[in-house]
Chains A and B, each alone.
Chain A
Amino acid sequence: MTVLTQNPARPHLAGDRSRIATNMTFVLVVLLVLASLFSLAIGAAGTSLWQGLSDLAMGRDLSLRDRVVLFDIRLPRTVMGILVGAALAVSGAVMQGLFRNPLADPGIVGVSAGAAFGAIVAIVLGGYLPAAIAASLGYYVVPAAAFVGSWVSTIILYRVSTRKGRTSVATMLLAGIALGSLTGAFSGVLIYIADDAQLRTLTFWGMGSVAGATWSKVLAALPLIAIALGVAPFLARGLNGLALGEAAASHMGISVQRTKNTAILTVAGATGAAVAVSGGIGFVGIVVPHLLRLMTGPDHRFLLINSALLGAALLLVADVISRTVIAPAELPIGIVTATIGGPFFFWVLLRQRGILDM
C-alpha cells in the first residue's frame, strides 16, 4: 500500500480524492475496532466482555464458562468474520478491476459456486483421498479444494467473456449463469450421494454462516486469505491501469499479463477460503467496493485496503444482526447480507443501465 506523504505546501487539486480516501482508511479502522468490540460483547450467553476484560486486567481469573464464551466462541467467530468479510470485499474489488465492471462479483458470476463445488467435493469425497495426503493437508483440504474450484471458474469466466482485452458484460453475466448452474448440478450429484453425516455438514455449511467458527477453522482459512490480502495492494497500480484498457495499461508500463494472473489468483484464494469456511455469503463483494467508489473514488490504491476494512466491519455487523434478531435462535448471515445486498444490487443495476451496454 502506498502511504501518501501529505505535503502541506502542495496545493490541493480539485478532483483529487486521495486525501478523502486516506482519511476514510482511518475512519474505517475505527469502525472495524468498534464492530469487533460489538461482536465480542454481544451473544446468547450474556457474558459481559467488559466484565471479562476488567477481570483479566485486574489479574482475576475468569470463570471457565466465561473464558470459553469469550475466547473459544466469540473471539474465533469475530476473527473469522473479519477474515471472511475482508476476503469477500477484496475479491469483489479485485474482480471488478480485472473485468473493468462494477457488476463483477464472485457470488454473482459463479466463482463462489465454483468454490462451493470444490468444497463439496472435498467434504463428500475427501474420505477417498490417500491417507498420507489427507493427513498432510489436514484442515486445509476443504479450503484448498475451494481455491481450486474458484480458480478454475475465474479462468473459464475470464477466457469466455474477454476478447482482445475487452470484457463483454453481457457475456460475463451469462457465462456466470452457465458456470453457476453447471457447478450447481455437479454439487447436486455429490449432495445426492453424500451420507448422513456429510449431509449435516453440508447443510450447516451451505446456509452461509460464521456461526460454527472454531480456531481450527480460522487457521484453515487464514493462510489463503492472508496471502490474498497481502498481495492485493500490489495489484492497485495494475488495476488502475487496466481501467483504461489492456493496451493503454501496457503502454503505461504495466505488465498486463502478470497483473491479470495475480488478480485471478487473488480472487480465487480469497473467495475459495471464504467460501470454504463460511459457505455462501453473498453481496459483500459488490456492496462494499461500490459504496467506497461512490464516496472516495475508484483509485485502487485506496479502494482495495478500504474494501478490506469496510467488508470486515460490515460482516461483523451483519453477524451480530444474524445472532440477535431472532435470538435465542440464529438467522444465517447469508440471509442478512442478501436482504441488504439484493436491493442494493438492483440499485446498482439501475444506475449502470446507461453504460451497461458498452
Chain B
Amino acid sequence: MPPSQPASPPSRRRRTLRFGAGPEWSFAQLGVTGVATAGVVVYLGALHLAVGGFDGVWWLLALVPVALMPWSGSAAPLALWAVLLIGWFVLTPEGTYSWWALPAAAGAVAAHAAHALSASSPPAGSFTRATVQRWIRHCLVALCAAGAVVVAVAALSSRDLTIGALGLVVGLAGVAAGLAWVRTSPPSSTD
C-alpha cells in the first residue's frame, strides 16, 4: 500500500455569479454579454446621430442582449439584429449615405462576435487570454472590410449610384448564389 498520496492537481477556482435559481454565470460570460450590449448601444448611437434623433423606445433594444444572455446560441440574436438593420433601413432617408455607418458596423461585428463567443462556452465557462485576443484580432480584420466599403462608397459618391433593373437582378442573383454556396458546398475532406 503506497503510504504517500500524490500531490493534487492544481485547482483554479473561477468566480461565478448566480441570478436567483438560474445557472451560474462566469464573469467572462458577463463581460461578453456586456460587449454585446455595448455593440447594440454603439449601433443605436450611430443611428441616432445619422438620422438626427428617433423615438426613445428604440433604446430599449439595448437591453435585449442582457435578456438574451441564456439564449445566445439560438436564433434570438438574429431577430434582434434583423430588427436593428430594418430600423436603419426605415429611419434613414432613401438614397442617402451616412458616415455613422462605420461605427455602427463596428458595433454590429462586436455584438455578433460576442454572441458567437458566448454560445461557444457554458454559462459558467470562461475564455483563455489567447482566445480573447484571437477574437479581437479577427474582429479588427473584419472591420477593415467595412473600411474598404467606405472607401469604395466615397470613391463612387460623386457618381450616380442608382441601380438599374438589370443591376438589381444581378445583385440579388449574386446574393442568392452566395447563400446557395454557403448552404450546399461543404469543403472536401483532406483525409
A binds B: no
Residues of B whose CB lies within 8 Å of any CB of A are none
